Amino acid sequence: MSPHSELESAIADVIFLGNERKIPLRGLASLTQATPNQAKRALDELKKLGYPLRLSRAGIVERLPFRPIDVQKLKAELTTERIGRRIEWRLHVNSTQDELKRLEDEAEDGTVLLAETQRAGRGRLSRSWFSPTGGIWMSILLKPTWPTSHQILILALAAAVARVVGNMTKLPSVLKWPNDLMVRSRKVAGFLAEAAYQGNQLDRLIVGLGVNVNIEMTRLPEGLRGLSTSLSHELGRDIDRTMLARRIVEEVDRSYRDFELGRASELLDDIKRLCSTLGKEVEVRTADGAFKGEALDVGRDGQLIVRMPDGAILPFHTADVTHVRQL
């Protein structure tokens, strides 16, 4: 972690987890071993992430009402077998993926780590993932016992989240291959799988999922507006993040058990039912170039199967896809 993010985290902890609602900037700086200027810069970063705080002219930092995910309630109400038997919560981290990686040796299969904000959230294909207050930023540690490829599992977990979002909000939630969750053609959630191998054997899998829940569009970086959305924006009201997180963990647990029980073909049927990419003309961008064709199917390993204009049928395992039009 960089010193900047450590300072931001330390300052966020003092303001939002401490007993005092107000604290002088100088006091905050000395508590966190920073200069007042460094502390002020950190406050500015936290504000950009949506933390409700005010710095008065007199140099007093004030915490405004803030409602984090209620992790005690989440734990108390959870009824899962594997996922979420241990749940860790943090306020501000670099990335929940890295934070969970720190625990991976001692933590059991299914451990979940949630954070209110991420300073350097990661997306697929080395992109960054903007993670302000109001989202669900979650990583799940899996210690695999299965011998097969895990691509279907990730798609199945994305499908599980799509079902929860659809049921809880009644918004039309679909999957854009490989694993973007879309509402009205805009991205509302994304999934990231980071695997570690021992030789050829898959040893650890950390699955990250990010859901834009209660986030105002004006908070999103300009480049993301038009491409991304949030559930609160689509619904016109905020939703209970604690309940949504609980339902996600429960549905992910169900799909994980189905996967372990070898029910990959049922999971695949569900994925195909939710996958809005199928039947569309798509542009697929890979390291070898861009291809246009018709998305026909999702294969048994989660690959997208595309018919090229010359009739050739190609499978794509990792790629970025744009929907060109409905066929």
Alpha-carbon gap, residue 236 to 51, rounded angstroms:
21
**Does the CA dihedral 7-11-13-16 come out positive or negative?**
negative
Minimum CB separation from ligand BTN for residue 212, in Å?
A: 10
Nearest approach, Cβ of residue 125 and ligand BTN (Å): 7
| 131 secondary structure, DSSP code | E
Residue 163 or 176 having the CB closest to ligand BTN: 176
CB of 194 to ligand BTN, least distance (A): 9
The Cβ of residue 30 has, within 10 Å, a number of other Cβ atoms equal to 13
For the CB of residue 142, give the shortest distance to ligand BTN in the complex, in Å: 14
Shorter beta-carbon distance to ligand BTN: residue 14 or 245: 245
Identity of the residue, 23 or 158, whose beta carbon is nearer to ligand BTN in the bound complex: 158
Looking at the Cβ atoms of 95 and 214, the one nearer to ligand BTN is 95
How many angstroms separate the CA atoms of 51 and 72, rounded?
Answer: 21
Tokens 């990730």 correspond to 154
Q: Kindly state the smallest distance separating residue 102's Cβ from ligand BTN, in Å.
A: 13
121 or 134, CB closer to ligand BTN? Answer: 121
By C-beta, is 138 or 264 nearer to ligand BTN?
138
Minimum separation from the CB atom of position 93 to ligand BTN (A):
9
Least distance CB 291 / ligand BTN (angstroms): 21
Q: Which two tokens stand for residue 81?
A: 């077998």
- We find the least distance from the C-beta atom of residue 30 to ligand BTN, in angstroms, to be 31
Q: Which residues contact 140 (CB under 8 A, 6 or more apart)?
A: 83, 100, 110, 111, 112, 113, 206, 207, 208, 209, 252
Spatial contact of 229 and 212, defined as CB atoms under 8 Å apart: yes
Q: Which residues make beta-bridge pairs with 189?
A: 181, 211
Residues that bind ligand BTN (CB under 6 A): 95-97, 118, 121-124, 127, 129, 131, 137-139, 180, 190-192, 208-210
Nearest to ligand BTN of 129, 256 (CB atom): 129
- Tell me whether residue 28 or residue 51 sits nearer to ligand BTN (CB atom): 51
Q: Specify burial of residue 307 (Cβ count, 10 A radius: 0-12, 13-18, 19+).
A: middle
Distance of CA 38 to the CA centre of its chain: 29
Closest to 82 (Cα-Cα) out of 188, 157, 135 = 157
Distant-in-sequence, close-in-space partners of 171: CB < 8 Å, separation ≥ 6:
165, 183, 184, 231, 234, 235
- Residue whose beta carbon is closest to ligand BTN: 190
Which three-class secondary structure state does DSSP give residue 144?
A: coil
